[in-house]
Amino acid sequence: MHCFPCFSTPRNKKSSSSDEANNNEVKLHERRQSDEAEQSEETTLKIFSFRELATATKNFRQECLLGEGGFGRVYKGTLKSTGQVVAVKQLDKHGLHGNKEFQTEVLSLGQLDHPNLVKLVGYCADGDQRLLVYDYISGGTLEDNLQEPKPNREPMDWTMRMQIAYGAAQGLEYLHDKVDPPVIYRDLKASNILLDDDLCPKLCDFGLHKLGPGTGDKMMALSSRVMGTYGYSAPEYTRGGTLTTKSDVYSFGVVLLELITGRKALDTTKPNDEQNLVSWAQPIFRDPKRYPDMVDPILKKKFSERGLNQAVAIASMCVQEEPTARPLISDVMVALSFLSMSTEDGIPTAVPMLSFKDKSMSIALSRHDSNLVSPTPEVATEDDKSSTSSDEESSVDNEKEMVNKKKKKKLEEEDSLTESDDGSDSNSDDEHEKDQESQPPKPVDEKNQAQSLKIKYRYSWEDVDINEGRLSSKSSQKSNDGGSISSGYESNKDHDDLPKEKEEKEEDHTHLEHMQSSKTDDSQSVYFDDDDDSGDDNEEVSLHRVKSEVEVGSFEDDSGASLHHTES
C-alpha cells in the first residue's frame, strides 16, 4: 500500500536567515522529487491531464457515455498518445477528496493486478477534477449478457456460466487472500462483472468506496450505494452492520444464482414472492428434486444434473444468513474450478482431493443435504501430501490430442509409482468407500472442527485442455508458490501435476458427498472422486488426490474478518 510521504518542516525551528530558509526549500524540493520518482517507479499508473482525457472522450460527449453509476459517469475514450481504448470514470465532485488522499488511494488500486480484475491504467487529479482510467472491456456486463444477450451471440451455455463464476471467484479470491490488507469488494454484482470478447470475466469498481461520495457517512452508505445493490447485499450489511469478506461471498452467491437461473437478483416485474432471487431460491434449496426447475430455461435442459446439484449447493452455502456459515471464497473457487470443466454430457472424471480451510463450507453443505453426510473421516497422508507437488517441467502442447495421450501415459506411470510407494493396490479406494458406506451416518455436529465434503464427478481431458487457457490466472499460480490457499487442483496447471490417479469406468452422474470427520482435526478436505465402477467410458481417466494443509498464519482485515493462510 502506498502512502505519499509527509513533508513537514518542524514548526518550532525558525531559520535565522533567509539563506537557511532557501536551503531548506531546495532540499525539500529535491526530496520531494526523489520521492515522487520512487513512487512512479513502483507504479505503472499513468497520470493524465484533464485535457488529454477530454480529447480522448471527445469532450465527454454523450455518444461516448457508457453509463452512470454510484461514483459518477463512465465514458469510452481513445488515448491520443497510444491509441488505447479506455473507460474513463469521472468521479462525482461532491465526493471530492484532497489530492493527496485521492492519489494515495489510487496508487494502491494501481497495485492490484489480476486477469479477472479490470486494470486501472491511470488517473487524473487536475484542479477539482478526479478521473480514473481503466482498460476498456468490450463484451458488456454479465448482467446484460444474461438478461439481454446480443442477437448475434449464442446464449451462454452451462459450462460457460460455470467458467464465468470460476473466473469471478478467482478475482475475488485475489482481493480477499492475495492482497494485504484484503480488499472487501462491497458491491459485487452482475453489472460489475465485465466480460471481454472471450467472455472472460473481469471485476470492476472494486476498492472505490474510499473515493466515493460520503465516505464514512453511514447515511450515504445506507442510501444509494446499498439501495443500488439491493438483492446482492448481505443481510448484515443492509442492516447497517459490519462488512466483511463474507459479505462479498454472499454477493458472489447471488451472482452464481443468477448464472444458474438466468434471473435477476431483484426483479420487480415478477410476482411478489419471486422478486428477490435469494428468497425465491431458499425453499428450492431444500428440495433437490426441484433444482432442474430453477435452471435458466434458455439452456433447454442442456446441463449435467450432477453439476447443477453442486452449483446450487455452493450458491446456497454462499447466501446463508449467518456470515460465519458462508464459505471462504478460496473454497468456493476450488469447488468451481471443477464445475467449470463440466459439460452438458457429464462432468469430470478427475478426482483430486481438495482442502477446504473454512469449516462453514462443509457445515453448510451438510445442512443443505443431510444425505450427503458420510460417517468416516478421510485423512491426508504424508504420501498423499508429497504427491501433490507440482511438476514445473510439464509441457504444454498445442496439439490437443498429443497432450491428452502424453498426460494419460504419465498418469498411468505415476499411478503405478504411487501404488508401489504406499503399498496400496488399485482397489484400495473402492474398498475404502465400501467401508464408509457400511457405517451408519452420523448427525452433523456444528461444533465439529473438521468435516469433509466429498464431491464426485467426472470430466474428459479434452475439456480440461480447452479450459486451461481461459482459466489460468496469476492468483492460482501464486497460491502454489505462496501457499495461501490449499487447492488440491488448479485448472491452469498442467494435469501432469496430479498425483494419484487410476483409470476407471464411470457412471454418468455426480453427487456431493459430505463427510463428517475426526473432531480433533482442524483441516477439512473436499474429495473430488469418481462415483463407482460402472459405466462404459473407457477413455476416461479417474484421479484421486489428497492434500493436507498446514496453517502458517492468519490475520484480520479491517472489518474484523479473520483470514487464514495455509500452506500445502
Ligand X SMILES: Nc1ncnc2c1ncn2[C@@H]1O[C@H](COP(=O)(O)OP(=O)(O)OP(=O)(O)O)[C@@H](O)[C@H]1O
User: 3-state class of 87 per DSSP?
Assistant: strand
CA torsion 163-167-168-174 (nearest 10°) is 160
Binding mask 100-119 for ligand X (x = CB under 6 A): ------------------x-
C-alpha cell at 226: 446499498
Contact region for ligand X (CB under 6 A) — 26-34, 128-136, 152-160, 334-342?
128-136
The annotation status of 89 as a binding-site residue, yes or no, is yes
Give the residue closest to ligand X by C-beta. 69
Q: Which is nearer to ligand X, 166 or 206 (CB)?
A: 206
Number of shown-chain residues binding ligand X (CB under 6 A): 22
C-alpha cell at 541: 481417466
Q: What is the DSSP letter of 174?
A: I
Active site residue 187: yes
Give the span between the Cα atoms of 410 and 79, in whole angstroms: 49
Residue 476 contacts ligand X per CB under 6 A: no
Residue 87 contacts ligand X per CB under 6 A: yes
Q: Pick the binder of ligand X from 175, 194, 372, 541 (CB under 6 A).
A: 194
Contact region for ligand X (CB under 6 A) — 48-56, 130-138, 403-411, 429-437?
130-138
Q: Which is nearer to ligand X, 190 or 299 (CB)?
A: 190
Give the span between the Cα atoms of 234 and 243, in whole angstroms: 9
The helix-helix angle for 158-173 and 305-318 (nearest 10°) equals: 30
Residue 136 contacts ligand X per CB under 6 A: yes
Q: Which is nearer to ligand X, 194 or 350 (CB)?
A: 194
Shortest distance (Å) from residue 244 CB to ligand X: 20
Q: Which is nearer to ligand X, 87 or 200 (CB)?
A: 87
The helix-helix angle for 277-285 and 305-318 (nearest 10°) equals: 120
Contact region for ligand X (CB under 6 A) — 32-40, 129-137, 168-176, 382-390?
129-137
Q: Which is nearer to ligand X, 203 or 332 (CB)?
A: 203
Cis, bond preceding 271 (omega within 30 deg of 0): no
Find all residues with CB under 8 Å of 421, minimum gap 6, and list them: 383, 387
Q: Pick the binder of ligand X from 47, 66, 160, 266 (CB under 6 A).
A: 66
C-alpha cell at 499: 498425483
User: 3-state class of 299 per DSSP?
Assistant: helix
Q: Which helix (H) or strand (E) holds 131?
A: strand 129-135
Residue 69 contacts ligand X per CB under 6 A: yes
Shortest distance (Å) from residue 409 CB to ligand X: 44
CB 116, CB 203: distance < 8 Å? yes
Active-site residue identified among 135, 177, 187, 384: 187
Residue 315 contacts ligand X per CB under 6 A: no
Contact region for ligand X (CB under 6 A) — 62-70, 241-249, 363-371, 444-452?
62-70
Q: State the first-to-last Cα distance of the chain, in angstroms, to the nearest integer.
A: 27
Residue 145 contacts ligand X per CB under 6 A: no
Shortest distance (Å) from residue 153 CB to ligand X: 16
Residue 134 contacts ligand X per CB under 6 A: yes
Would you give the distance in Å from CA 237 to the centre of its chain? 20
Q: Pick the binder of ligand X from 56, 64, 70, 277 (CB under 6 A).
A: 70
Contact region for ligand X (CB under 6 A) — 17-25, 70-78, 213-221, 248-256?
70-78
Q: Pick the binder of ligand X from 163, 191, 404, 448 (CB under 6 A).
A: 191
Q: Which of 235, 172, 163 is nearest to 195 (CA)?
A: 163
Residue 285 contacts ligand X per CB under 6 A: no
Q: Which is nearer to ligand X, 119 or 505 (CB)?
A: 119
Residue 185 contacts ligand X per CB under 6 A: no
Residue 251 contacts ligand X per CB under 6 A: no
Residue 71 contacts ligand X per CB under 6 A: yes
Burial zone of 238 (CB within 10 Å; 0-12 exposed, 13-18 middle, 19+ buried): middle
- Where does 157-276 have alpha helices with state H? 158-173, 218-220, 226-228, 235-238, 245-261
CB 129, CB 95: distance < 8 Å? no
CA angle 559, 564, 567 (to 5 degrees): 155
As annotated, the binding site includes: 89
Active-site positions? Answer: 187
Residues forming contacts to ligand X in the complex (CB under 6 A) are 66-71, 74, 87, 89, 118, 134-137, 141, 187, 191-192, 194, 204-205, 228
